[in-house]
A and B are shown apart, each in its own frame.
Chain A
Amino acid sequence: DSGVTQTPKHLITATGQRVTLRCSPRSGDLSVYWYQQSLDQGLQFLIQYYNGEERAKGNILERFSAQQFPDLHSELNLSSLELGDSALYFCASSADRANKETQYFGPGTRLLVL
């Protein structure tokens, strides 16, 4: 158990809908990262938050957004969902801002868009 929690574990929705994925980092970790793992794209970094502020952006679509709250949990919002958004979404956390510390991954949220 990495100490990172993600909810829900599974999510099934329809195209055009909007969903919110939730992540709670390990105790004491200030950085939260979101990743997408799909069959065709592999593991891709989406976005990082540090202590409530956006720190870095990766291959995140404009239809996707995220935020980190004062209690350090984070939410990833996916809107206008398309079939291609079906994937495993991971959250990871680390202690630092400068990305020198190891990232620990949560169990993931499996999203299926029908």
Chain B
Amino acid sequence: AQTVTQSQPEMSVQEAETVTLSCTYDTSENNYYLFWYKQPPSRQMILVIRQEAYKQQNATENRFSVNFQKAAKSFSLKISDSQLGDTAMYFCAFMRGNDMRFGAGTRLTVKP
């Protein structure tokens, strides 16, 4: 079974600084998809970024980028120029076929 591990339960960062959230996963599959979702206090689950495992190029969405290391089974999220609105729970997710697994989440607080 695929497992997703987020080793940082909580993190904080100063506004305008850069922060990296870690995620590792375990799979024997070669083709799969990885996601970062953001859950703000409203509890809505918002897609932040998506990465296809067959693509070597790291995905980027504005201030959000990933460092995808397939061999190491690592998928970290970098948030640049952190904003107060980035305060949220961040979930890393693995998807392969019908199976989608989420990590336990990292609570990120952006401080003014």
Residues of B within 8 Å of A43, CB to CB, are: 91, 102
Please pick, from B44, B50, B96, the residue contacting A105 in the complex, using a CB distance under 8 A. Answer: B44
A88 and B100 within 8 A (CB): no
Known: A48-B98, A99-B97. A42 touches B43 (CB 8 A): no
Measured in the bound complex, the distance between the Cα atoms of B60 and A14 in whole Å is 46
In the bound complex, what is the Cα–Cα distance between A103 and B47 (angstroms)? 8
Closest to B42 in A: A107
Chain A minimum-CB-distance residue to B33: A100
Chain B, 16-52, contact with A by CB distance < 8 Å: what is the 0/1 string? 0000000000000000010101000011111100100
Question: Whose C-beta in chain A lies nearest to the C-beta of B44?
Answer: A107
Q: A90-B45, A105-B45, A108-B43 are in contact. Are A42 and B102 (CB under 8 A)?
A: yes
Pick from A33, A42, A90, A99: contact of B105, CB under 8 Å: A42
Q: Report the interface size class on chain B.
A: 20 to 34
Asked whether A99 and B95 contact (CB < 8 A) given A43-B102, A105-B44, the answer is yes
Chain B residues closer than 8 Å to A88, beta-carbon distance: 43
CA distance A102 to B59 in the complex (A): 14
Which chain A residues numbered 45 to 103 have a C-beta less than 8 Å away from chain B?
A: 45, 48, 55-56, 58, 88, 90, 92, 98-100, 102-103
Q: Which residues of B pack against A, CB within 8 Å?
A: 33, 35, 37, 42-47, 50, 91, 95-102, 104-105
